[in-house]
Amino acid sequence: MYLLLSAHADGAALQELTAEGAPSPGASEPWLVSRADLPGVVRQLEGRRPRWIWHRTQDWYPALLRAGVELERCYDLTLCGAILAHSEFTVHTEYARNAERRGQAEALPPPRSLQPAPPPADQDALFETPAAGPADGATQEALRAEYAAQQEALREAGGPASTPAGSTGGVLAGPPESGTAARENDPDRRQRLQLLLAAESAGAMIAAEMQHTGVPWREDLHEQILAGYLGPRPAFGHRPARLEELTSTLRQLLKSPALNPDSPQELMRALHRNGIEVKSTRQWELQESSHPAIEPLLAYKKLARLHAANGWAWLDAWVNDGRFQPEYVVGGVVSGRWASRGGGALQIPRQIRGAVHADPGYKLIVADASQLEPRVLVALARDSKMAEAARDQDLYAGIAAQGFGGDRAQAKIALLGAIYGATTGESGRLMPQLTRTYPRAVGFVEQAARDGETGKTVTTRLGRSSPPTPDGWLRSQQSATADEQRRADAIARSRGRFTRNFVVQGSAADWAACWLAELRRRLRARRAEGAPTGELVFFLHDEVMVHCPENAVEDCVRAIEEAANAAKVLLFGRIPVEFPVSVAVVDSYDHAK
């Protein structure tokens, strides 16, 4: 059952649709529900296990969650439309052509503000959209037509026939899925794209649910940590005691009595006056010098960062009643990773992770996918030799053991360098031997890089494609003067590094989205059975955190592991590549790994 939910006057319109997006035959006219009645109506209809179709999950779901209504599944027209408008799997469809004509503005998620969004002022407000009514282009009929068009594009992805995803990839054989290879008539592609749309929509729900739940955050522990590093809380606008001490030390050592160490320009001049010839004030460059001022300067920078980014002001702004509730921005990164808005949710520094603490009677289960990106590369490239190395829990150790010509540390540097496109340094030097040992894996990312350099599109395993190159990009690659040509070549190489990384990072994001969705499904199932179970509270690219009653830990750990394996099978079939998760059951986040 498919239910379209759209904003209407002072409430919502509900319409039952077919799977294809036509009005359901035999169903009544669209049904108008007042704002006040909506949570009750939605809760009632949820019993029929519909897929809720809506313009943006963020417009509806947060308010429903505040009203105590949780839903099983949805279809986010904005997120799915953005994928379908650019995917190579649907590039031949009318939907993609229309998206091109409309311009990207409508097809892509709305622009993100750079400033943190303040927490909603009115927590009881049911609608995030203005009371005036639906936004332009988001009327009930427009959304229905949009859904129908997206479903049509999806049906046309790959070809008419279809086979189960698991049945095609049983062995590491056949051409790798990339670039121009294996492009024609691949029925498996439709299923993969469908999976991506479902996972993306599930991700949008999970993001709203995690924001609603929040990360358990002990303000008292956070303040203890700050006091330990910085001294007591200073008066507003003042430096903490420890930073004051370091400032006067630096002023003496650099013979600059008025130095503001927060000013890069002042700092640079002071360093030069003292014979410290750096070109920037970055940590790694400062570390080269042995001047006595360097150690306190690096200490200052470290602590100043803590104070500015995650100090008392941050605590006041972002933690309430023992919960940190950041906004996750699904689809916020071109590769399919999530971004976040407010509070730097995806950059919680190790220094303060001790403040993330389970409630009494609960544990934090922190699980991360070990060496996810290299393992995804093995699967994408179908490199059976590297797959053998990936059989082990430690892929890098496996590579070293296979005699690629270096130790574990070098194996890691070389492989990450291949994924990022390193050309110089140790990573660059190790590339030839890595290529000799694993021609398929290296060849795969090299092909992605060549595609980017020549302006082609690359695509993740589930069908998310790299953003189009700007108009005139190819022409700008042919330049008249040698200087312009050098610049054009540099831009092309940069694009190549981006597409090289995109296929791996993006396919890893595909995997992580499926992992999350599969985990959510399992946790919900357990809860429906009435069993105690944990809640997803945090997600960071290849890592999840579940806040879990102690008596449900074992069960949740199993769910996390099952979900990881399910994600692998969904993406790649039953291939002989492991995607192990490392799981820590802890009271506080700083004790995980």
Partner DNA sequence: ACCTTAGGCGCG
Partner DNA sequence: AAAGCGCGCCTAAGGT
Q: Which residues bind DNA (CB under 7 A)?
A: 112, 114, 116, 260, 262-266, 268, 280-284, 287-288, 301-302, 305, 308-309, 314, 329, 332-335, 337, 339-344, 346-351, 368, 409, 412-413, 416-417, 420-427, 494, 497-498, 501-502, 505, 540-543
| Rg of the chain, C-alpha, whole Å | 26
Q: Which C-beta is closer to DNA: that of 93 or that of 505?
A: 505
* Closest CA relative to residue 117, chosen from 213, 206, 211, 7: 211
Closest distance to DNA from the beta carbon of 500 (Å): 7
Q: Which is nearer to DNA, 32 or 584 (CB)?
A: 584
Residue 101 vs 279, nearer CB to DNA = 279
> Shortest gap between Cβ of 305 and DNA (angstroms)?
5
* Contact of 501 with 513, CB cutoff 8 Å: no
Closest approach, Cβ 189 to DNA, in A, equals 24
Q: For 217, which DSSP code?
A: B
Smallest separation, CB 170 to DNA (Å)? 30
For 36, other C-beta atoms within 10 Å of its C-beta total 10
Task: Tell me how far, at minimum, the Cβ of 446 lies from DNA, in Å.
Answer: 14
Q: Which two tokens stand for residue 296?
A: 């306190």
Q: How far is the CB of 167 from DNA (least distance, A)?
A: 32
| One-letter amino acid for residue 412 of the chain | K
Q: Nearest 5°: CA angle at 467, between 345 and 75?
A: 65
341 or 521, CB closer to DNA? 341
Identity (one letter) of the amino acid at 135? A
In this complex, which beta carbon is closest to DNA, that of residue 20 or of residue 316?
A: 316
**Four-CA torsion 276, 280, 284, 288, nearest 10 degrees:** -20
Question: Would you give the distance in Å from CA 315 to the centre of its chain?
Answer: 24
* Shortest CB 40 distance to DNA, Å: 35
Phi-psi category of residue 71: left, alpha or beta, with phi > 0 → left and psi -120 to 50 → alpha: beta
Name which of 215, 282, 94, 101 is nearest 543 in CA terms.
Answer: 215
- Contact by Cβ (8 Å): 448, 499: yes
Contact yes or no for 449/465 (Cβ under 8 A): no
Q: What is the dihedral of CA 309, 311, 317, 319, to 10 degrees?
A: 110
The Cα-based distances of 55 to 60, 136, 204, 516 in angstroms read 9, 12, 12, 22
Query: Helix or strand or coil: residue 33?
Result: strand
Q: Which is nearer to DNA, 127 or 312 (CB)?
A: 312
Contact 51, 115 (CB under 8 A): no
Minimal distance, residue 517 CB to DNA, in Å = 19
Distance in Å, CB of 484 to DNA, minimum: 20
In the three-class reduction of DSSP (H, G, I as helix; E, B as strand; rest coil), residue 458 is classed as coil
In the complex with DNA, the residue whose CB is nearer, 50 or 203, is: 203
Cβ pair 142, 123 in contact under 8 A: no
* Nearer CB in complex with DNA: 346/395: 346
Pick between residue 180 and residue 494 the one whose CB is nearest to DNA.
Answer: 494
The SS3 of residue 413 is helix
To DNA, the closest distance from the beta carbon of 241 in angstroms equals: 18
